[in-house]
Amino acid sequence: MIKNPEIINLPKIGGHDQGYISLIQANDLLPFNPKRIYWIYGVSKETERGGHYHHKLEQVIICIKGKLTIKLENNKGEIIKFILDSPSKALYIPQRHWRDIFFHENAILLCIASENYDENDYVRSYSEFKNIS
């Protein structure tokens, strides 16, 4: 069972002449059963999103077009950055991590989430996050 943020390399099937397919099958590469899938697109060049923390929710994020830089911070103040620049690379984000997501031009983010939307699961204040133990 994955406990820390980490890159998941997805299968990349195909070739340059016909294109590629990458996939995630149920109960295969995900450390949770997905309950929600959403995507973010049309974000202005060099925009920062995220800026929140989840008590319970886990996520797998894939940059299906362009490039994302994701900065995560845990409750101990440890910070780690990831670059997603290939649709065959996914980032697992466990619960209890603050996230800042930097969109580069024309990026499209796909998110697979472990829970349905629940506003009570969010902490949107960084100072409040810093006081969570």
53-86 per-position pLDDT tens digit:
999 999 999 999 999 999 999 999 999 999 999 9
Q: How confident is the model at residue 124 (pLDDT cuts 50, 70, 90)?
A: very high
Q: How confident is the model at residue 119 (pLDDT cuts 50, 70, 90)?
A: very high
For a pLDDT cut of 70, what percent of the chain falls above it?
Answer: 98
Sign of CA dihedral 38, 43, 46, 52: negative
Catalytic residues: 52
Domain positions in the chain are: 6-130
Q: Report the candidate in 45, 59, 46, 47 with the shortest Cα–Cα distance to residue 98.
A: 59
CA distances from 94 to 5, 20, 46, 54, 74 (A): 6, 28, 25, 9, 10
**Can you tell me the distance from the alpha carbon of 113 to that of 117, in angstroms, rounded to the nearest whole number?**
9
Inform me whether the pLDDT recorded for 1 exceeds 60: no
Q: How confident is the model at residue 2 (pLDDT cuts 50, 70, 90)?
A: low
Inform me whether the pLDDT recorded for 131 exceeds 60: yes
For a pLDDT cut of 90, what percent of the chain falls above it?
Answer: 86
Q: What is the pTM of this model?
A: 0.93
Q: Which CATH class is domain 6-130?
A: mainly beta
